[in-house]
Amino acid sequence: MPRIPGVGDTSAILDDGLEGLEHNFVTARIEDLVKWSRARSCWPATFGLACCAIEMMATGAAHYDLARYGMEVFRASPRQADLMIVAGRVSQKMAPILRQIYDQMMEPKWVISMGVCASSGGMFNNYAIVQGVDQVVPVDVYAPGCPPGPETLMHAILTLHGNIQSGELIRRREANDGGAAIHVDPPAPAPSAQPVELGSR
């Protein structure tokens, strides 16, 4: 009976050295394994604001089944999520809340801008709507459409997975000091009240 190296025979490993292990071990860099696991375990913190949120919910339902990508757990707490899907238009009043939720998410974190309203303001070209959510948070992938269907969102998710696994997003954020060159300035202090001098009579 021929000897099969590395199968039930420890002497074969000792005789052949590392060559006897070539069919029994998978080798990889730790960095590649970490990027692979990050890409396969994104947990979204949903930010549904308008009609795009309906399409996002349909994507998570049984017909499209986001569980195939390890994303079936939509988290209600931002501290347990690392992906924000901004689905719908962002008003000026909602922008600080969106930024606060983004800041509470764990690192590394990613953002998908879903729909034309989130990406560029869409048809709402007025003072009340933020003309692109990338003015508030760094966006990694844009999903175009009004509203984009579940297939478009899944394509955006797979694009994000590829960018995470290649390390492109981490390199870009390190080059931009942890973000996408977006700096949120603190609110200006209120002007102090000046004493009013009353004229003499």
pLDDT digits (tens, 9 = 90+) for 38-51: 888 888 887 788 88
State both tokens at 151.
């297939």
* SS3 track for 87-120: ECCCECCCHHHHHHHHHHCCCCCEEEEECHHHHH
**Does the pLDDT of residue 71 top 50, yes or no?**
yes
Q: Which segments of the chain does DSSP mark as H helices, in order?
A: 10-16, 30-39, 52-60, 95-104, 116-120, 150-166, 168-175
> How sure is the predictor about 8, in pLDDT bands with cuts at 50, 70 and 90?
low
**Does the pLDDT of residue 89 top 70, yes or no?**
yes
**Does the pLDDT of residue 183 top 60, yes or no?**
no
Q: Give mean pLDDT, residues 177-188.
A: 52
Nearest to 147 by CA among 48, 51, 46, 49: 51
pTM: 0.70
**Does the pLDDT of residue 178 top 70, yes or no?**
no
Task: Express as a percent the part of the chain with pLDDT over 90.
Answer: 0
**For residues 139 and 131, what is the distance between their CA atoms, to the nearest angstrom?**
13
Identify whether the C-beta of residue 153 lies closer than 8 Å to the C-beta of residue 171: no
Q: Give mean pLDDT, residues 122-134.
A: 85
> Which residue type does 175 have?
A
> How sure is the predictor about 193, in pLDDT bands with cuts at 50, 70 and 90?
low
pLDDT of the residue at 190: 56
pLDDT of the residue at 9: 53
> Which residue type does 55 have?
E
β-pairing verdict for 83-87 and 110-114: parallel
pLDDT of the residue at 189: 63
Please give the domain boundaries of the chain with CATH numbers for all domains: 44-175 (3.40.50.12280)
Q: Nearest 5°: phi and psi at 114?
A: -105, 115
Helix, coil or strand: residue 131: coil
- Across 81-93, b (16+ Cβ under 10 Å) vs e yields bbbbbbbbbbeee
